[in-house]
Amino acid sequence: MLLPHPLTRSNLLPIGATLQVGRGRSCTFTLEGALSDIPRPGFPLLAGGVLGLAQVAEPSQRSVRCPLAAPHHAPRLVPAPAPGRPAAPARLDPLWALRPRGGAVEPLPGLLAPRPGLARAAPGPAPPPDPQRGACGAPGPPPFLLILVCTAPDNLNQRNAIRASWGRLREVRGLRVQTVFLLGEPGWGSRGSDLVWESAAHGDIMQAAFQDSYRNLTLKTLSGLSWADRHCPTARYILKTDDDVFVNVPELVSELVRRGGRWEQWETGVGPPRKAKAGDEKWDGSPTLGSQPVPLLYLGRVHWRVQPSRSPGGKHQVSEEQWPPSWGPFPPYASGTGYVLSASAVQLILKVASRAPLLPLEDVFVGLSARRGGLAPTHCVKLAGATHYPLDRCCYGKFLLTSHKLDPWEMQEAWKLVGGSDGERTVPFCSWLQGLLGILRCRLIAWLHS
């Protein structure tokens, strides 16, 4: 499996701590050692499978507030003591914070490595010798587009449908495309051994060490972006999407080429030359653009002035502690069903993310981090957002870059409409009238279908 960080104990800083549980969900860590190497007020903690963000006012302070995870990931409580016996504080042992190469506590929540003893999947076939090389370090040109698909451990049918449809593409217009699936740790009821077999068979799974859940989607996305920045730094663009989203990869690559200019040099100079094909970007054999500045791009279906949901227990609940009412609506952000980041935008977001309040809404958090870095999202109507479009050859083949809420059967049927096994077009997708109406026709079909 592809991991966001090497699994070595040198990457983890052990911190002995006692957990005092107060009223409600409040608690306090009393640390046994000084935190002189904490560079800023917030840093991630991993304790007993619970993820939290400690808030430290001064490096010498011994008590820190907790936690930082979703409400259902509160610290575990000990049973009530017997009558007449003093209550003992709960003990979370060990408590870990990730230590980066420089030796200080890593402030980015998405880079947490597994704690020692964290249960991995059951024994199975050995994983590929070097899966990271297979994903992004294989001989040949670097990826023009790296697709990160957020998925759940149990969603095997969705992943296989993607592998059998748009995820099987490795080249479009002479530009390399790569798809990787992002997962967290499976729950106790899941069959972790299946993931080992799946990873060994396909070599396209990146698994990070946190409990896989919707409320941890921010950690999953940050882990994926961090992995891409570390192990796929030459990828030109990164698409983050979900496993129930159809992606029109050929049209998306064409859209990025139109928006970013002619990047034919990006495709050359790494691997041996190959014969040109119809529709390829022309190139002259010049070096890659690795030394040239990469334009910032944050492209998606943008939402403006969205207010946080305060519904208790709701899927999108954001507490007043996470986003105070005085902060107003969320900043503009691109729908998490599918947005594109240039490599430079990924680096910017990862740099700023440690200073942004950690939110359970991944797309809002990315938008907030981009905003703090001075990057505004670019709206693209062809990225469907949360809209589900019924199967239609013209819409899926020409005007839509993504469509949401497709089951495995629909995923493969949509791929047949786009171009079949290799994505090559055979006949025109749209009639003259359909082409004239464009995306408006697709929206009308979606509205009538709903």
Among the listed residues 38, 234, 237, 11, the one whose alpha carbon sits nearest the alpha carbon of residue 115: 11
pLDDT for 211 beyond 90: no
Whether pLDDT at 406 is above 90: yes
How confident is the model at residue 314, as a pLDDT? 80
| Residue 206 near residue 182 (C-beta atoms within 8 A) | yes
Best CA proximity match to 175, nearest among 229, 224, 246, 234: 234
Mean pLDDT, residues 198-220: 88
Helix 362-372 with 217-231: angle, nearest 10 deg: 50
CB distance 386 to 72 below 8 Å: no
Question: Is pLDDT larger for residue 34 or for residue 332?
Answer: 332
Burial letters 43-70, b for 16+ CB under 10 A, else e: bbbbbeebbbbbebeeeeeeebebbbbb
Q: Are 184 and 306 in contact (CB under 8 A)?
A: no
Quickly tell me which residue has 């030109």 as its tokens. Answer: 236
Average pLDDT over residues 114-134: 37
d(CA 211, CA 217): 10
pLDDT digits (tens, 9 = 90+) for 37-90: 333 334 444 333 333 333 333 344 444 444 333 333 333 322 333 444 443 333
Q: 369 with 352: CB under 8 angstroms?
A: yes
Q: Give the Cα separation of 301 and 334 in Å (integer).
A: 5
Task: Supply the mean pLDDT for the chain.
Answer: 70
Q: pLDDT at residue 404 above 90?
A: yes
- Total number of residues shown for the chain: 450
Q: How far apart are CA 267 and CA 287, in angstroms?
A: 9
Strand ranges for 230-372 from DSSP E: 237-242, 246-247, 298-303, 333-342
Confidence of residue 36 (pLDDT cuts 50, 70, 90): very low
Any idea what DSSP says for residue 75?
Answer: P
pLDDT at position 311 is 83
pLDDT attached to residue 326: 92
Domain residue ranges in the chain: 9-111, 131-379, 393-449
DSSP states along 5-53 = S---GGGEEEE-EEEEE-STT-EEEEESS--TT--SSEEEEEETTEEEE
Q: Give me the CATH code for the 131-379 domain, please.
A: 3.90.550
The pTM of the full predicted model, rounded to 2 decimals, is 0.68
Residue 422: its pLDDT value, please?
Answer: 54
Q: What is the pLDDT of residue 189?
A: 62
- Interhelix angle 192-202/156-163, rounded to 10 degrees, is 10
